[in-house]
């Protein structure tokens, strides 16, 4: 095995890593917002909303991400810039998983919290937003952390629609150097370090939040 | 102030309340006693519609709360409630627990709400705990904060749902003291409790409930001293 190619190609890795992080960052933000929205739809007493959320979540969880990427990129032909389509696909996908995590978290919050808020005259929506959801988020942080790590790993699939993220650039390096294996190892190490660091950062955040326990 | 007509509540096939008629006047302290499962908590929770009655009506300050067109949130501002298990908001500090409703519902500024909040915390003897989280408080302290939280909205009536039942015996006193003080100031109160001594002391009227109906109601001295219904006698002989 030889790793001399890194000397010539490290810029490719860096550039790819930058896009991986950018895609994941925006996808995480949008999919959390979308996931919470879907979870609230799912728990809503308005039948149309909960029905929509159930159907959506079932569809997303029952089809491969790769198919969803193609559906959004080619199927919808939204005329979006490629990277926006990529963020959209990731968010559409992860939103469904986050919705289920958030729903479980909301249902785990003691019903008395909602009752106490309502007894003070707060609306259902405000009680959710200010009392129930913040507690739910804290409870589900470990599960959310897992979802973020999955999003980072899922960005690698965006190479199929030509986004020059990390995996795409690894392929380019493999083609240029005629090395089938070694560029992948470097790529894998970069993915691993990223998710490992993220996992620990969230661990720190979690301990901080425990201050209120 | 509160008028209850033919109030019924069923959970599925189980009839918990089988027709309650009660009127509660301004400044009155009404204590509800009775065995477990008699429907006293359900009755209390129907007064602010935390439980939706199956039949009958609840009229509060002239407005029918059971009318679908009534904006219940508006009236709940005026009906404070204290729960057996406190239900302080775990994600907020003690002060924020007290100020969140005035800020969120009454749209008070942070400064106004904090002023009210600190005054109330001082009144229940917990101003030094303003910035800690509920998990750091004892049960008695939690319940006193919960009372301050309800008072922050400036309610016209306070509902207490077994406020001391979840407390260690030595913490019951501090909570009852706050309630006694409230009663002295003329607050209208409806109290579900097992504290018979307290009921006798602060109650203007005691209501004995069993199996979803009001069996007997009277002044505390009469109801405790000379109960009429055999079921009341039986109950009192067991708890006194």
Distance from CA of A128 to the nearest CA of B (A): 12
Helix crossing, A5-43 with A82-108: angle to 10°? 50
First to last CA, chain B: 31
Within 10 angstroms of residue A96's Cβ, the number of other Cβ atoms is: 22
pLDDT beyond 70 at B96:
yes
Q: From CA A180, how far away is CA A177, in angstroms rounded?
A: 8
Q: Do B81 and A119 touch (CB under 8 A)?
A: yes
Q: From CA B183, how far away is CA B165, in angstroms rounded?
A: 19
pLDDT beyond 90 at A144:
no
- List of chain B residues whose C-beta atoms are within 8 Å of the C-beta of residue A210: none
When CB atoms are compared, the residue of A113, A120, A211 closest to B153 is: A120
List the structure tokens of B154. 């400036």
What is the band of A143 on the pLDDT scale with cuts at 50, 70, 90?
confident
Torsions phi, psi of B106, nearest 5? -90, -5
- Tell which of B82, B88, B104, B156 to mutate to test the A interface (max A CBs under 10 Å): B104
Q: Do B76 and A120 touch (CB under 8 A)?
A: yes
Query: Chain B residues with CB-CB distance to A under 8 A?
Result: 48, 50, 73-77, 79-81, 83, 85, 87-92, 100-101, 104-105, 133, 135, 146, 149-150, 153
% of chain A at pLDDT higher than 70 = 98
pLDDT beyond 80 at A210:
no
Give me the pLDDT at residue A114, please: 97
Q: From CA B181, how far away is CA A84, in angstroms rounded?
A: 63
Give me the pLDDT at residue A4, please: 85
Contact B52, B39 (CB under 8 A): no
- List of chain A residues whose C-beta atoms are within 8 Å of the C-beta of residue B91: 131, 134-135, 138, 212
Residue ranges in B7-54 assigned as alpha helix (H): 40-47
B224: CB partners within 8 A, 6+ apart: B196, B199, B200, B206, B236, B240
Give me the pLDDT at residue B179, please: 96
Q: Do B135 and A212 touch (CB under 8 A)?
A: yes
pTM, full prediction: 0.83
Q: From CA A14, how far away is CA A19, in angstroms rounded?
A: 9
Q: Do A116 and B81 touch (CB under 8 A)?
A: yes
Q: What is the mean pLDDT of residues B145-153?
A: 97
When CB atoms are compared, the residue of B48, B85, B100 closest to A130 is: B100
**DSSP-derived secondary structure letter, B127:** G
Q: From CA B192, how far away is CA A49, in angstroms rounded?
A: 39
A60: CB partners within 8 A, 6+ apart: A68, A92, A93, A95, A96, A97
ipTM computed for the complex: 0.93
Distances (CA, A) of B9 to A187, B64, B142, B211: 64, 17, 30, 12
Give me the pLDDT at residue B76, please: 96
Averaged confidence pLDDT in chain A:
91
What is the band of B184 on the pLDDT scale with cuts at 50, 70, 90?
very high
Closest chain B residue by Cα to residue A123: B73
pLDDT per residue over A159-184, tens digit each? 988 888 999 999 999 999 998 899 99
- Tell which of A108, A112, A116, A127 to mutate to test the B interface (max B CBs under 10 Å): A116
- List of chain A residues whose C-beta atoms are within 8 Å of the C-beta of residue B80: 119-120
pLDDT per residue over A81-103, tens digit each? 888 889 999 999 999 999 999 99
pLDDT beyond 80 at A76:
no
Give me the pLDDT at residue A211, please: 65
């Amino acid at each position: 095995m030889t790793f001399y190619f890194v000397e010539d190609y490290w810029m490719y890795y860096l550039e790819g890593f930058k896009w991986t992080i950018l895609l994941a960052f925006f996808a995480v933000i949008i999919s959390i917002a979308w996931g919470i929205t879907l979870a609230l739809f799912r728990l809503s007493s308005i039948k149309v909303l909960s029905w929509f959320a159930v159907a959506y979540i079932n569809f997303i969880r029952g089809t491969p991400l790769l198919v969803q990427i193609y559906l959004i990129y080619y199927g919808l032909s939204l005329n979006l810039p490629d990277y926006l389509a990529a963020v959209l696909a990731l968010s559409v996908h992860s939103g469904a998983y986050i919705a289920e995590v958030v729903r479980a978290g909301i249902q785990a919050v003691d019903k008395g919290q909602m009752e106490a808020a309502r007894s003070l005259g707060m609306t259902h929506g405000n009680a959710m937003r200010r009392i129930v959801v913040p507690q739910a988020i804290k409870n589900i942080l470990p599960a959310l952390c897992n979802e973020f790590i999955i999003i980072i790993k899922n960005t690698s699939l965006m190479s199929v629609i030509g986004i020059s993220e990390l995996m795409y650039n690894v392929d380019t390096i493999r083609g240029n150097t005629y090395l089938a294996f070694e560029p992948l190892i470097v790529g894998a190490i970069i993915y691993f370090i990223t998710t490992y660091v993220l996992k620990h950062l969230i661990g720190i955040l979690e301990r901080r939040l425990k201050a209120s326990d | 102030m509160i008028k209850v007509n033919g109030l019924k509540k069923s959970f599925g096939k189980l009839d918990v309340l089988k027709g309650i008629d009660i009127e509660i006047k301004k400044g009155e302290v009404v204590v509800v006693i009775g065995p477990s499962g008699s429907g006293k908590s359900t009755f209390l929770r129907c007064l602010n519609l935390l439980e939706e009655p199956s039949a009958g009506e609840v009229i509060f300050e002239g407005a029918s709360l059971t009318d679908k067109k009534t904006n219940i949130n508006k009236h709940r501002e005026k009906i404070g409630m204290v729960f057996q298990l406190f239900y302080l908001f775990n994600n907020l500090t003690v002060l924020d627990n007290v100020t969140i409703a005035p800020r969120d519902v009454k749209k008070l500024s942070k400064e106004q709400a904090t002023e009210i909040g600190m005054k109330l915390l001082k009144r229940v003897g917990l101003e030094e705990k303003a910035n800690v989280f509920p998990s750091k408080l004892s049960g008695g302290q939690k319940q006193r904060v919960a009372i301050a939280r309800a008072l922050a909205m400036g309610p016209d009536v306070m509902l207490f749902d077994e406020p001391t039942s979840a407390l260690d015996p030595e913490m019951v006193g501090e909570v009852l003291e706050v309630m006694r003080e409230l009663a002295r100031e003329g607050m209208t109160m409806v109290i579900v409790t097992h504290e018979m001594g307290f009921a006798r002391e602060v109650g203007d009227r005691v209501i004995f409930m069993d199996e979803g109906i009001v069996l007997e109601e009277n002044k505390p001295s009469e109801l405790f001293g000379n109960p009429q219904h055999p079921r009341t006698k039986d109950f009192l002989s067991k708890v006194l």
